[in-house]
A = this chain, B = another copy of it.
């Protein structure tokens, strides 16, 4: 008869020893606990616990013996139980969307790497189209995560509710207007200025912009900074069409730019690389133009395919690895010391000259 927990009923009551319900013996085998190990090793349960704690006080002899016995019995500490008492789940929620884009998977990958380095696991909340956030937030709370990395838009109220529960949040490449929050971003303004400067220096004067969706802070920054810089150069007429950050909208975007003015612009500034790629393809295959001879196209992000020989996109590459590293540092600091004030870290992007634009 398989042993059950040893402190359930006073022994006198053990008489009617009938299995309560026909237990399907296959699956119901309970896992080995520290109590089991303790009994087998002839030590207390707390001793076992200490043997598995890095700094725990236990003689080398006992430690070795207990760990060996634990190993034999197939014991693994229960992280859930530990979290309950330590109030530390070692879980970090990553709120992310557009996992099918080219950019976010790289972000997630880097976040995961750096999280592991800090001994944290990632609880993934992949939101379909940045929606459903409220219900998701509730889930995040329930799991008692140590912290949150938000690569999606959050409302002020949502941020507040995390703060109320003392759960630190770090935004990735976005932030909240008028509310001090932790954030790690790539400097879009500077990137846009560099691109425009080099394009202007090459003699380009007619600019078109393929923007991202209105609700993308990053996208809007890129577009505004581009236009602002052009204005500084005295270029006032800038045609803008809107896309959705995807290939097709980049492709459609160029055709729309053609319709807006009588003539096509000399440059298409696209709010991300994927649209730039779509735009390049539209130029070549739809409009039979040469890139960059007849049209310069630039993007943002520096995603993998932007380096393919077929496109060689001129772009501002985000230092995603560094950004992820900074994100985790920021977050872990806040977890260790909840009193720290909000902080933004703005990392510079890097110009990748590519071959899709003539630069001066």
Contact = CB atoms under 8 A, between A and B. Distances in A.
Contacts of A180: none
Interface residues of A, number: 61
B79 A144 contact: yes
B26 A339 contact: yes
A31 interface: yes
A143 interface: yes
Contacts of A26: 338-339
Interface string A107-150: 01100110000000111111010000000001101111000000
Interface in A301-360: 304-305, 308-311, 337-339
Interface string A76-103: 1111110110000101001000011010
B309 A144 contact: no
A99 B138 CA distance: 27
Contacts of A104: 105
Interface string A34-76: 0000000000000000000000000000000000000000101
Contacts of A31: 165-166
A233 interface: no
A234 interface: no
Given A165-B31, A304-B100, A139 B112 contact: no
A187 interface: no
A3 interface: no
A29 interface: yes
Nearest to A106: B100
A99 B100 CA distance: 11
A121 B121 contact: no
A99 B91 CA distance: 20
Contact of A141 (B24, B76, B280): B76
B99 A108 contact: yes
Contact of A74 (B105, B165, B311): B165
Interface string A10-28: 0000000000000010110
Contacts of A27: 166, 337-339
Contacts of A164: 74
Nearest to A107: B99
Interface in A160-179: 161, 164-166
A29 B339 CA distance: 12
A143 B143 CA distance: 12
B89 A99 contact: no
A251 interface: yes
A16 to B, nearest CB: 24
The 5 closest A-B CB pairs, nearest first, are A27-B338, A105-B105, A99-B109, A112-B126, A79-B142
Interface of A: 24, 26-27, 29, 31, 74, 76-81, 83-84, 89, 91, 94, 99-100, 102, 104-106, 108-109, 112-113, 121-126, 128, 138-139, 141-144, 161, 164-166, 247, 251, 277-278, 280-281, 284-285, 304-305, 308-311, 337-339
